[in-house]
Structure 1
Amino acid sequence: MSNVIVVDQLSKSYQLAHRSKRPQKQSLREAVTGSFFSLFKRPEAEVRAEETQETFWALKDVSFEVEQGERLAIVGRNGAGKSTLLKILSRVVSPTSGTVRYRGRMSSLLEVGTGFHPELTGRENIYLSGAVLGMSQAEVRQKFDAVVDFAEVEKFLDTPVKHYSSGMYVRLAFSVSAFLEPDILVLDEVLSVGDANFQRKSQKKMRELAAEGRTVLFVSHSMGAVREMCDTAIILDGGRVSEKQTVDVAVGSYLRHSVRTESATLPLFTEEVDLLAVELSQDGLPHTEYDGDKPLDVAIAFKIRHTLDNFRIGFYIKTVMGELVTRALLADWDSAAEDASIGECVVRATIPARFLIAGSYVLEVHCSRFGIGDFFADAASFPFRMRASTLYNTQHANEQTFGFVYLNPNWRLERV
């Protein structure tokens, strides 16, 4: 396929002003007299003395290419430069240096409130948007009913869009962008405003656009939406861009760097319980990456300071996105363990072989009394990775998109 977008050594800088002096606290008398005498001072000298300038690079030497029909996600933390990049691509902002070249007609939906004239009705804004894209009124009329049906705003079509809710506004803006036949569609964190049904419709429409050979650039903090909508992704960090990767690999890499990458520092102390040690091991050896074909052993050492009733200890397994995979508490299996006496203890558990799909996870130690909050809250987290089981689909050896756990449903094939 040919490249429809080529970004070469793109950079964008801003000048930030900083005050070098902070006003000191003054009494009422000092404030009044100071205000009076300030009338006879030269303000220019004061401003020069108090303010300094700093060059901030929102983007620095960003280069990548996008092929026709590609659905590319741009992933990164707040302030990484994602919106700045899309604004430059959409020609809303000019770059400091570097070039952007693209072929075809681009439609951009950058944020709620952009693209429409607030005083015009929904109907008028549809025709205005078509004119901006270079379409004739006859071409817009051919697409008009499809735009309105998809947006579900027919009842408010002749109402000024300034009276629309944010959801209505985004639905109409997305419909206009998607149905007025752009060659390139640019979306910046806007679909999160719509409801679940509209998000599903939007995802389906984006897949249809890509199948028609149209190109989609998508920015979102929802990694679920990124995985649903896109095939490839780049990561922006501090204004610099990573090499383009498949969306699963990029999202996995981004999430691993976004959450705690080191195990909690032990021991942890509370008035009731001390958490002394936590060990994940396989074949008797501790690791951070484990073989999916073998069981994974968990050992939790703790000290009870005084007798506790309704005592609970165990762990949660979560994805790096924070989604709960499973919960395992000793009290669920051994009711006698609910009443804990003073002293040191070790509880051991085993995560069975071929249980977790390959990927990155976090084991969170849970220790509490029933009805009372966790003693250690989020402080006792331990990240680990699972490699794919050789007995199951290993199409993606490092990151799989088939859920979180393996299922053996005891298949039976009967030939008739």
Structure 2
Amino acid sequence: MALEIRSFMVEHAEFSKGKNGITDHKLFINKEIILRKLSHELLEKVDLDIVSPGESTRIIKVLDVVQPIASRDQKIFPGFLNETLTVGWGSTHRIEGFRLISCGDFPQPQTTSLTTKDGLIDMSGPGADYCISSDTINLVITFYPKPSTSNEAFDQVSRKLMLDLAQYFGEMTFSLEPDEMLNYDLSEENPELPTIIYINQLQDQGPLIRPYLYGRPLGENFVPTFINPLEMMDGAIVSGNYRNFMKKPTSFYLRDPIVEKLLEQHHKSLNFKGVIISRGHHGDTSLKLRSASSVAKLAKFAKADGVILAMEGTGNGTIDFQFTLECCEKAGIKTVGIIHELGGSLGDDTPLVYRSKYADALISTGGVEREFSLGSVDKVVGGSVFLNYSLGVENPHQGFKVRPMDLYGSCWKMSVAGFTCLEC
């Protein structure tokens, strides 16, 4: 299975009265046309804003970030836009430097442990280093659902509209010459190089806190599954997790930084064998052990010399993460885990909720409970009131204290930005 990625760079975006399109790396957006595409009977209205890196702009109530992609092969986002057939082949177009960001409030009260959290992205200032998509030009789509709409219905409607729009923008590149073309093919291996597998543990607690694999949530009965990493580049995994800081947005599944690094080194320093998808946040120990041992079984069957384990989530999911690491080590597979730390606002508290004695190679991506201050901003989009991780009310125009836990996608942004923890 081989995949050609054609990339098209956007360096500027603006609203215009003409046709939607890309000219000389400039994206022109007709607001009226886009709003018509986003109309739905369950929505009262939709707002559109363009924000760019360095602006004194704060985006709140963030739901998801999606990179525009498209394919003439009618395959992207399987289970949502196309048939649930295996993807990761043929040719796929994607726009770089530009993202679609969905925002909105869930219309119905939430009272259980499945309560979602507001996401915040600062386009400048100290918070930008902790926020996914603070470094891209973004079209922010703010959805206002009708009060009678259920939370799950709003979730489904906003997701489908966002994926449709991502494809629509991606199709604008069909008549353009790509700025870059990359060809990926994992069929050839060098027997003299170590075989490496990436274990991608996804967070699935239930409605509004779960991803989708080929259009379906993982669920309690999910067993670890082996996929080709190229499938992720075509949208095989779509986010439905609104726990803000701990989640991977859809854009990060499309361009997973671990996948990209391993693909870069394939046939050079290692053989990238594939990705094992596992589920985090199981309800009891037996399910956690079942999942962990299944992951180790698949990795052993694939003759992996080493695995890289990363997780979406925190708390409960850390147990699944550590059990998986332990089972792989017991199976004789060298295992490196990538994980964020807790540690409290001063860094003097317990950094992990659980650590296996086999976890002797962990990479820290920094502490998500450290406190710092955001400044005031000139513009706020996505809503009018921000609820921090502890559900405290903040005026988003003003400065206030935050932790990375308050910021959108901080666990993964801190990872790619090079955050870590050092013993002082």
TM-score, normalising length: structure 1: 0.24
The higher relative CO (CA closer than 8 Å, separation ≥ 6) is in 2
TM-score, normalising length: structure 2: 0.24
Q: Which has the larger radius of gyration?
A: 1
